[in-house]
C-alpha cells in the first residue's frame, strides 16, 4: 500500500516537474525520492520472502538515499546551493557497513533501528529548520513544518518503544496493534511528506505568478494596478496616523528620440537603467511604479514636501551624472506634491482633504510644467489646481 502510494506520488511529482516553470526546482528530486521510498517499502514488505540483505540492507540504503535526495530537492526549492555529494557518499558507505554488520555478521535489529530512526529524526528536524528559517512563511510552510514535527515525534516514539521493549523490535512482521499502528502511520507519512512538498512548490509558483502580475517585467517596478492596491493601504495608514504622503511623478525626456536613435532595445536599456537608479535611491517602504511607457511614480509614505523634494533632487543629480556603463545621457522631468487625509496632518499638507485623484492630477500638472519650462527639472506643487 505504502509502496503503491509512493510510486503514484512519484508519477505526480515527475509530471509536475515537466509542467511547472523551471524556477520551481526540486520536484524531480522529490519524484526520485518518492520512487526510492516506494521501492524500499516494497522490499520491506517482502521480508522473509527475499534474502535479508535485500529486504534489510538494500531497502534501508534506498530509504536513506531517498532522504538525501529529498533534502537536496528541498534546498533547490528554497533557492539554496547544493553541497558536493562526496560527504553524502561517505555517510552512505558508513551506513552500509553498519547495516551489513548488524544484518549479516551480528544480526540485531535494535542498533539498526536506532540508526535508521536517528537518520529519520535528523532528516525531519533538518527539514523543519530549513523551511522555518525563511523570514516570511506561507500557509504551506506551516503545514510542512507540522508534518516534519510529526515525523520527529514518530521516530522518537519508535526509539523509546524499542528501548523500552527490545524484544518487540524483533517481531516486526508479527501482527500486533502497535505494529499495525506503526505501519499505518508510516504509510500516511510517506504520502503526506510528498503532498507537503507539493504544497510548498505550489505556494512558490503562486507567489512567482503574483510577483509577475504585480511587477513590470522589464523594469521590476510595480504595475499601476498593484500600486493602486498598495496605495489604498498607505492612505488608510496615513489617515489613521495623521501622516503626510508624498508623490514624485517622473517622465523621461525626449524618450521617443532615444528610441529612434538607439532602437527599441536601447530605449528598454535606458528604462532599466532609470529604474535601477530609483531602486538604489529610494527607501524600502517607498512604492515605485511604472504607470506606462516612460512614465513612473514614487509614493513616499510619511514624507513631507521637503523630504520628497530632496529625493527628487538626488535622482535628478544621479541622472545628470555621466554614466560610464554604455547607457547614453538622458534626463527626466519631475513633479512633486504631498497629500494628507486628515485635518491634523493638514498642518503639513498643502491641500488637505482632497482626493487621491486630485493629488495625482496636480503632480502630473507639475510634470507638464517642468516639460514646458525646458525639461530636466523638478517642479513642486505649490497651488491647488482643484479646490475641495
Ligand atoms: N523602448 C521602449 N519604448 C517605449 C516603451 N513604452 C513606450 N515607449 C515609447 O516611449 C515614447 C514616448 O514618447 P513621447 O510620449 O512623445 O514622449 P517623449 O519623447 O519622452 O517626449 P517628452 O515626454 O515631451 O520629453 C514613444 O516613442 C513610445 O513608443 C517601452 O516599453 N520600451
| 349: containing domain | 224-386
pLDDT for the residue 346? 44
Q: From the candidates 25, 294, 379, 383, which is the catalytic residue?
A: 294
User: Would you say the CB of residue 253 lies under 6 angstroms from ligand 1?
Assistant: yes
ipTM: 0.90
Active site residue 379: no
Ligand 1: nearest atom to the Cα of 267: 1
3-state secondary structure string across 250-291: EEECCHHHHHHHHHHHHHHHHHHHHHHHHHHHCCCCCEEEEE
Q: Which run of H or E residues covers position 334?
A: strand 332-340
Same domain for 118 and 154, yes or no, is yes
Ligand 1: nearest atom to the Cα of 265: 1
Q: Single out the residue in 154, 184, 208 at which a domain terminates.
A: 208
User: Would you say the CB of residue 348 lies under 6 angstroms from ligand 1?
Assistant: no
Same domain for 299 and 359, yes or no, is yes
Same domain for 203 and 254, yes or no, is no
Check residue 81 and give left, alpha or beta (phi > 0: left; psi -120 to 50: alpha): beta
The answer to whether the Cα torsion of 55, 61, 62, 64 is positive or negative is positive
**Total domain count for the chain?**
2
User: Would you say the CB of residue 294 lies under 6 angstroms from ligand 1?
Assistant: yes
pLDDT in 10s for each residue of the chain, 388 residues? 778 888 899 999 999 999 999 999 999 999 999 999 999 988 988 888 999 999 999 999 999 999 999 999 999 999 999 989 999 999 999 999 999 999 999 999 899 999 999 999 999 999 999 999 876 778 889 999 999 999 999 999 988 888 887 776 655 555 566 666 776 777 788 888 999 999 999 999 998 999 999 999 999 999 999 999 999 899 888 888 888 999 999 999 999 999 999 999 999 999 999 999 999 999 999 999 999 999 999 999 999 999 999 999 999 999 998 777 788 899 999 999 998 765 444 444 555 556 788 899 999 999 999 999 999 999 999 754 333 2
Q: How many CA within 13 A on the CB side of residue 343?
A: 0
Instruction: Read off the pTM.
Output: 0.73
Q: Based on the number of CB atoms within 10 Å of its own CB, is 258 exposed (0-12), middle (13-18) or buried (19 or more)?
A: buried
Q: What is the CATH number of the domain that holds 278?
A: 3.30.70.270
User: Would you say the CB of residue 267 lies under 6 angstroms from ligand 1?
Assistant: yes
Take atom 21 of ligand 1 and give the residue whose Cα is closest.
254
Ligand 1: nearest atom to the Cα of 292: 6
Expressed in angstroms and rounded, the spacing between residue 221 Cα and the centre of ligand 1 is: 17
Amino acid at each position: 500500500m505504502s509502496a503503491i502510494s509512493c510510486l503514484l506520488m512519484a508519477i505526480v511529482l515527475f509530471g509536475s516537474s515537466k509542467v511547472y516553470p523551471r524556477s520551481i526546482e526540486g520536484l524531480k528530486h522529490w519524484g526520485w525520492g518518492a520512487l526510492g521510498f516506494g521501492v524500499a517499502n516494497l522490499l520491506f514488505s517482502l521480508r522473509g520472502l527475499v534474502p535479508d540483505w535485500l529486504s534489510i540492507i538494500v531497502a534501508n540504503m534506498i530509504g536513506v538515499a531517498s532522504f538525501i535526495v529529498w533534502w537536496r530537492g528541498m534546498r533547490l526549492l528554497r533557492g539554496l546551493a547544493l553541497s558536493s555529494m562526496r560527504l553524502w557518499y561517505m555517510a552512505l558507505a558508513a551506513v552500509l557497513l553498519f547495516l551489513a554488520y548488524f544484518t549479516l555478521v551480528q544480526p540485531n535489529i535494535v542498533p539498526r533501528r536506532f540508526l535508521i530512526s536517528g537518520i529519520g529524526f535528523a532528516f525531519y528536524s533538518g527539514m523543519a529548520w530549513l523551511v522555518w528559517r525563511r523570514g516570511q512563511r506561507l500557509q504551506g510552510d506551516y503545514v510542512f513544518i507540522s508534518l516534519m514535527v510529526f515525523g520527529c515525534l514518530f521516530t522518537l516514539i519508535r526509539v523509546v518503544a524499542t528501548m523500552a521493549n527490545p524484544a518487540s523490535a524483533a517481531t516486526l512482521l508479527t501482527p500486533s496493534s502497535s505494529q499495525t499502528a506503526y505501519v499505518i502511520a508510516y504509510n500516511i507519512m510517506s504520502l503526506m511528506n510528498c503532498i507537503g512538498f507539493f504544497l510548498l512548490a505550489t505556494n512558490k509558483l503562486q507567489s512567482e505568478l503574483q510577483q509577475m502580475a504585480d511587477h513590470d517585467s522589464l523594469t521590476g517596478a510595480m504595475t499601476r494596478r498593484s500600486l493602486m492596491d498598495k496605495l489604498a493601504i498607505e492612505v488608510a495608514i496615513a489617515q489613521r496616523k495623521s501622516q503626510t504622503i508624498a508623490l514624485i511623478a517622473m517622465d523621461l525626456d525626449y524618450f521617443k528620440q532615444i528610441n529612434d536613435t538607439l532602437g527599441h532595445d536601447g530605449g528598454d536599456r535606458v528604462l532599466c537603467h532609470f529604474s535601477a537608479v530609483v531602486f538604489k535611491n529610494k527607501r524600502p517602504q517607498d512604492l515605485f511604479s511604472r504607470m506606462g511607457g516612460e512614465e513612473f511614480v514614487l509614493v513616499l509614505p510619511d514624507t513631507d514636501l521637503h523630504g520628497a523634494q530632496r529625493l527628487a533632487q538626488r535622482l535628478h543629480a544621479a541622472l545628470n551624472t555621466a554614466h560610464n556603463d554604455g547607457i547614453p545621457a538622458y534626463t527626466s522631468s519631475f513633479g512633486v506634491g504631498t497629500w494628507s487625509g486628515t485635518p491634523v496632518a493638514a498642518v503639513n499638507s498643502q491641500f488637505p482633504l482632497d482626493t487621491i485623484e486630485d493629488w495625482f492630477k496636480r503632480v502630473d500638472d507639475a510634470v507638464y510644467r517642468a516639460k514646458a519650462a525646458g525639461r530636466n527639472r523638478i517642479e513642486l506643487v505649490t497651488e491647488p489646481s482643484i479646490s475641495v
